[in-house]
Structure 1
Amino acid sequence: MDGGYLLYSARGSGGVAAEAALALIGAPFEVVEASTFDPGDVESGDRVLAANPMRQVPALVLPSGETMTESAAILIRLAELHPEARLSPGPDDLARGAFLRWMSFVSAAIYSHYWLKDDPFRLVPDAALHAEVDRRIQDRISECWAIMETATAPGRFILGDTLSVLDLYVAVVSRFRPRRQRFYAAAPRLGEVARRVDADPRLSALWAERYPFEPGWDRL
């Protein structure tokens, strides 16, 4: 896309956080739909392969032609490239360390579990064990949200009174299973932040199209 971003993403995926960031920035972008987590969509992995050898979304092609993968890295870079949008603390901001810490934490301690959770056969060949694997992963995810809850002091948003890409990241990832009701129980103050992001009128059209609040969306 000339002059804009090309984003490999999918409805209901972690890529929606990058879509939300681009929407707030106001930059032109085009989405290539690639539901790589859907076993019924076998061609999605091929669509994203040129941008990401891991066959995963999101992957972002910048106007410069550079390609980026990994949700946290993409969100951090978008905020850096568009400082006028004020979607992250600057390098000299006292909140910068916490911002980088929690962006990395969500990626490494929480989001990373979904590679196995989405398809336990990747590491556990015995299907009889998959329900237990799923239960343990959900417990671990909830535990990690609780750890983040106790180590942060949210204001209107996680780092204070200004929305950042960290808030977008948490709002999207907390919608994955075990879903929001368990997230609210484990991290009630973070839950209030996520609700605030859900209700941001600048994102209402995006949520409706890309991650709609369908009946029962917040429950298992």
Structure 2
Amino acid sequence: MPPLTLYGAEASGSVAVEAALTLLGLPYRLVEGATWAEPEARERVAPVNAMRQIPTLVLASGEVMTESAAILIYLADGHAEPRLAPALDDPRRAAFLRWMLYVSSAIYALHWIKPDVTRIGVPPSARDAVVAAVHDRIAFCWAHMDRQLTPGRFLLGESLTVLDLYVATVSRFGPWRPRFTEVAPGMAAVVRRVDEDPRLAALWAARFP
């Protein structure tokens, strides 16, 4: 049995983790289930993550990791080849940590509202307006990030990192790629390059059908 177990679902944040595991050549067992839509999926992950959310990664030791950004940083830092994160003494390290946490907190976290807008104290009848506002905020955040970065071949220069995988995944969520491309043209060029990476082509096709 593979030493890693990943609870995830297609078209979700777990795909970024799957992409990292693929590039690192690490075997894993995938437990499929969209926890935001399927009660059965929430119950499957509940024994290891009381929040009943994905991605959840169970390590060989049995230790549980949650939070997509934390998982990606952990995986990248734990493997020198291929290097998927700037080293601790790399001048790009500060920017790497900044933007990994920014994507997680300022953008990805907003999607938690959309399946059930009563979570923020508004009635279900307001869902369309709330989702539209969430998408506007996400577009604003992508635009802000784009203005702060000067990408090379990838977001932090010439080397692919898990930040590229994270943005390539989360930019596929609402308000979706056309608007992402409009508000973040610099990052959009990088994301297209990540989409076309032959090492990941089969994964993207399978997990974002």
TM-score when normalising by structure 1: 0.92
* Alignment-derived partner of residue 6 in structure 2: 7
CA shift digits 1:119-146 (9 cap, x unpaired): 2122234223211111111000000000
Report the Cα distance in structure 2 between the residues aligned to 1:49 and 1:127, rounded to whole angstroms: 26
- Asked if the contact 1:76–1:88 (Cα under 8 Å) also holds between the matched residues in 2, the reply is yes
- Asked if the contact 1:51–1:60 (Cα under 8 Å) also holds between the matched residues in 2, the reply is no
- Asked if the contact 2:9–2:32 (Cα under 8 Å) also holds between the matched residues in 1, the reply is yes
* Alignment-derived partner of residue 65 in structure 2: 68
- Asked if the contact 2:116–2:124 (Cα under 8 Å) also holds between the matched residues in 1, the reply is no
Report the Cα distance in structure 2 between the residues aligned to 1:125 and 1:142, rounded to whole angstroms: 22
Report the Cα distance in structure 1 between the residues aligned to 2:25 and 2:77, rounded to whole angstroms: 14
1:140 to 128, 137, 140: 137
Runs of at least 5 residues in structure 1 that lack an aligned partner in the other structure:
213-220
CA shift digits 1:137-174 (9 cap, x unpaired): 10000000000001111111000011000000000000
* Alignment-derived partner of residue 215 in structure 1: none
CA shift digits 1:64-118 (9 cap, x unpaired): 2211000000000000111211100000000000000000000000001011022
Report whether the alignment pairs 1:57 with 2:46. Answer: no
1:198 partner amino acid: D
- Asked if the contact 1:138–1:178 (Cα under 8 Å) also holds between the matched residues in 2, the reply is yes
1:155 to 139, 145, 152: 152
2:93 partner amino acid: R
* Alignment-derived partner of residue 34 in structure 1: 33
- Asked if the contact 1:9–1:15 (Cα under 8 Å) also holds between the matched residues in 2, the reply is yes
Deviates more, 1:123-132 or 1:185-194: 123-132
1:108 to 82, 102, 105: 105
Report the Cα distance in structure 1 between the residues aligned to 2:122 and 2:86, rounded to whole angstroms: 44
2:36 partner amino acid: F
- What secondary structure, in the 3-state scheme, does the structure 1 residue paired with 2:51 have? coil
* Alignment-derived partner of residue 21 in structure 2: 22
CA shift digits 1:171-218 (9 cap, x unpaired): 000000110000001100101111111100000111121123xxxxxx
Runs of at least 5 residues in structure 2 that lack an aligned partner in the other structure:
none
CA shift digits 1:23-53 (9 cap, x unpaired): 0000111100121022xx2211001112211
Residues matched between the structures, number = 209
1:113 partner amino acid: L
1:102 partner amino acid: W
- Asked if the contact 1:124–1:130 (Cα under 8 Å) also holds between the matched residues in 2, the reply is no
- What secondary structure, in the 3-state scheme, does the structure 1 residue paired with 2:199 have? helix
